[in-house]
Amino acid sequence: MIKTIKDVLDMTNGIELVDIRFIDVPGTWQHFTMPAHRLTEEFFEVGIPFDGSSIRGFQEIHESDMLLKPDPDTAFIDPTAEIPTLVLGCNVFDPLTYEAYSRDPRYVALKAEEYLKSTGIADTAYFAPEAEFFVFDGVRYSSNPNESCYAIDSVEAWWESGHNSTPNFGGQIAPKRGYFPVPPTDTLQPLRSKFMLAMEKAGVQMDLHHHEVATAGQSEMTMTFNTLTRMADNLLLYKYIIKNVARQNGKTATFMPKPLFGDNGSGMHVHSSLWKGDKNVFYEESGYAGLSQAALHYIGGLLKHASSLLALTSPTTNSYRRLVPGYEAPVNIAYSQRNRSAICRIPATKNSKAKRVEFRAPDPSCNPYLAFSAILMAGLDGIQNKIDPGEPQDRDLYELPAREKKKIKQVASSLSEVLDALEADHDFLLKGDVFTPDLLDEYIKYKRVHEVDAIRLRPTPHEFMLYFDC
């Protein structure tokens, strides 16, 4: 049920603080806090100003004033806060014209949903991400002109089995063996249950949680599907809850795609489907894997635009440490009914309501509003232009002979490559003014300067091992 302003004001009984939140372009939740008595019906109309020049991807210093207006449907009571706190998500506006701000990622998602309706293809896009993460006992890292290092502590990691500084009970998880033994091997069962129950208290319906494949605390929880923008809202909450509950329990959580060498990274397989009224547009009993022609064309759009999509769905230099063969990563630009090495998978189900497309390249470092919107826009472009996805690849693509493997296109190997692809292939994102050129230009510029160049210019510890004695 959609919350109204009255519903939100009714929630403030016993609340002392109101936290106002919005998201920057790279995908980090921003916030400030005010006393609960400031939350009035008028506040929802008038909003509150802030400095847009201090937010990544937003305004320059000479045009810094911006405005936030809360969306009542985002309201929840923070289950991790020590002081009773109501949280409100906001959209960003120009304070002079009161127009929605083109670089506000949440506005992009709202426009994507409106564009879908305007096409007549469907009324609603449902999304369900599977965001993986690691929970460590500690982490240390530094990057300075004269030194660079990182170190991870995890009581369940295989490399801890020989430590004798504290009592060691054994049973650590070997590489790629974390999916998914019961406790005590799975040391995080109680903590993940706390994550899940906190999400439910915040109003998000959860499906399940479990340990994931990698050693050292890799985990996953799944949320019940929701509409595009609301699921992006929920994913921000998911990351917030996990990080805060982990910290409150003496641990630290990360959604970094590839923190460990030699083991699986953390992906975020994104399931999506289109509905018109009570009909799943993606379902056709007689089609391949139960898919309709529209669904196959949707896949065709994802495959055609895969390289530029990855700039928004796998948007860090670290993402491409994960997208390599051998670690269950989807490196093949192909589709299949059950093959997890393909970038698009159709989960095996005969339930017409559950028929969906799983796009397996994304990871949880992305901005979900931009990532989900881009996936939808690529799929719609496929439907509108009847893009043929080719034949399905229902075979082990990792083990193909070299001659056959060459025929299947692989995902890009770096953030630099996918940013170049986005620069060359983005017209499908501009339809309906969903994405705007100024947003894409700023996004590409930020990523190149602050991430691609930042990594490209720095020596790494392993380079010292390879080249110091050259």
Catalytic residue, candidates 104, 186, 358, 363: 358
Burial of 84 (0-12, 13-18, 19+ CB in 10 A): middle
Taken in order 56, 34, 202, 100, the sign of the CA dihedral is negative
Q: Which one-letter DSSP state was computed for residue 89? A: E
Other residues' Cβ atoms within 10 Å of the Cβ of residue 337: 16
Segment 351-403, tens digit of pLDDT: 989 999 999 999 999 999 999 999 999 999 999 999 999 999 887 776 777 78
Other residues' Cβ atoms within 10 Å of the Cβ of residue 99: 9
Segment 130-178, tens digit of pLDDT: 999 999 999 999 999 999 999 999 999 999 888 887 788 888 999 999 9
Examine the residue annotation and report whether 458 is marked as an active-site residue of this protein: no
Identify the residue whose tokens are 């937003």: 58
Segment 168-225, tens digit of pLDDT: 888 899 999 999 899 999 999 999 999 999 999 999 999 999 999 999 999 999 999 9
Examine the residue annotation and report whether 147 is marked as an active-site residue of this protein: no
Instruction: Give every CB contact of residue 62 below 8 A, 6+ residues apart in sequence.
Output: none
199 with 235: CB under 8 angstroms? no
292 with 386: CB under 8 angstroms? no
Catalytic residue, candidates 130, 156, 233, 451: 130
Examine the residue annotation and report whether 212 is marked as an active-site residue of this protein: yes
List the beta strands (DSSP E) in 137-277: 138-144, 147-153, 206-211, 218-223, 226-227, 252-254, 268-276
Q: Which two tokens stand for residue 433?
A: 């003014």
Catalytic residue, candidates 78, 113, 132, 186: 132
Q: Which two tokens stand for residue 376?
A: 């939808």
| Pairing of β 65-70 and β 279-280 | unpaired
249 with 194: CB under 8 angstroms? yes
Examine the residue annotation and report whether 60 is marked as an active-site residue of this protein: no
Examine the residue annotation and report whether 200 is marked as an active-site residue of this protein: no
Triad 398, 399, 403: Cα angle to 5°: 100
Per-residue confidence (pLDDT) for residue 405, from 0 to 100: 76
Catalytic residue, candidates 209, 271, 305, 360: 360
Per-residue confidence (pLDDT) for residue 61, from 0 to 100: 72
CA-based nearest residue to 435, from 363, 373, 378, 384: 373
Domains and CATH numbers, the chain: 5-101 (3.10.20.70), 124-467 (3.30.590.10)
Per-residue confidence (pLDDT) for residue 63, from 0 to 100: 77
CA separation, residue 253 to residues 87, 180, 238, 241, 259 (Å): 22, 19, 12, 10, 11
pTM, to two decimals = 0.95
Per-residue confidence (pLDDT) for residue 326, from 0 to 100: 74
| Separation between Cα atoms, residue 362 and residue 411, nearest integer Å | 12
Q: Is 90 exceeded by the pLDDT of residue 309? A: yes
| Separation between Cα atoms, residue 421 and residue 413, nearest integer Å | 12
Examine the residue annotation and report whether 462 is marked as an active-site residue of this protein: no
**How large is the average pLDDT for residues 23-44?**
96
Examine the residue annotation and report whether 340 is marked as an active-site residue of this protein: yes
Q: Which one-letter DSSP state was computed for residue 155? A: T
Catalytic residue, candidates 51, 63, 65, 285: 51
Q: Which two tokens stand for residue 132?
A: 């993986």
Catalytic residue, candidates 210, 230, 340, 448: 340
Per-residue confidence (pLDDT) for residue 468, from 0 to 100: 93
Cis peptide before 368 (omega within 30 of 0): no
